Amino acid sequence: GLPLEFFIEGGRTRDGVPLKPKFGMLSIICENYKKNLSQKQKRGVADVLMIPISLTYERVPEGRDMSQQRLGKPKTPESFWNIMWTGICLFFSNVPRGRLHVRCGAPLSLKRTMEESISVMETNSRANSSTNPGQWSTNLENTDVVAVGHAVQASICRVSVVPLTSLLTASLLSRFSSFSSSSSSVFAGATLDDLVDDVVDTAIMLSGVGGLLPDGVFGK
């Protein structure tokens, strides 16, 4: 009956691209649930509810370092003193860091997700065995854990907010023209009004397909 917090991606993604889910903690939870289910069938076992939470930063503190890494600079090793120095710089810096967007999705039932994954696996196995009678074998050992991990990750993606910094970056990147004969690129000039129009059009498009935008973005 205690809440447990862990990061499904094993850490954080600094560029906003979702990472593949990690199954270490999920496998422990699923195995514990199945073990209790087999031992306490008569009394019943309480379901496990998973709350997908999305944390989106408009700007990350190491943004400049990320740009240098894309250009070939090795990543700065993390250490205690680096963390302390970063905290001091953030505390005394007047550079705006934007907002942090926190969104929570609907609770996911571990029991229902596992049952649905096993049902789908059995259906697919029977369909595949129709061409080879007598060869039906179902491996359900890790199927439910993988299904739960992807279900949680998909729920997080559905409630993730697209920050304005990403919309602006997409507009800037779309104006780069790369040459196939070389690795160089040319930036097509754009006025501030052009960039604003791109951001507004992209925001309207994302909103039309169910994408989440920061609160009050259309008011601005």
189 contacts 157 by C-beta, under 8 angstroms: no
DSSP code per residue over 143-158: HHHHHHHHHHHHHHHH
43 contacts 99 by C-beta, under 8 angstroms: no
140: Cβ–Cβ under 8 A, 6 or more apart, which residues?
118, 121, 122
Evaluate if residue 13 carries a pLDDT over 50.
yes
In this predicted structure, what is the pLDDT of residue 104? 94
In this predicted structure, what is the pLDDT of residue 140? 47
CA quadruple 17, 21, 22, 25: dihedral, nearest 10: 120
56 contacts 160 by C-beta, under 8 angstroms: yes
Evaluate if residue 129 carries a pLDDT over 80.
no
In this predicted structure, what is the pLDDT of residue 128? 58
Residues 145-190 have pLDDT tens digits of 888 898 999 999 999 999 888 888 888 888 876 554 455 666 777 7
- Count of other CB atoms within 10 angstroms of residue 171: 18
Residues 64-112 have pLDDT tens digits of 777 788 788 887 777 888 888 878 887 887 777 788 899 999 999 998 8
Burial-class residue 137 by CB neighbours within 10 Å (0-12, 13-18, 19+).
Answer: exposed
For the ranges 39-43, 50-54, 126-130, the one whose mean pLDDT is highest: 50-54
Average pLDDT over residues 130-157: 71
In this predicted structure, what is the pLDDT of residue 142? 67
In this predicted structure, what is the pLDDT of residue 159? 92
CA quadruple 212, 100, 103, 160: dihedral, nearest 10: 40
**Rounded mean pLDDT of the chain?**
80
- Under the banding of pLDDT at 50, 70 and 90, the label for residue 52 is very high
- Tell which residue, 198, 210, 208, has the closest CA to residue 168: 198
**Tokens of residue 112, six digits:** 């229902």
Evaluate if residue 138 carries a pLDDT over 80.
no
Q: What is the C-alpha separation between 61 and 89, in angstroms, rounded?
A: 10
105 contacts 159 by C-beta, under 8 angstroms: yes
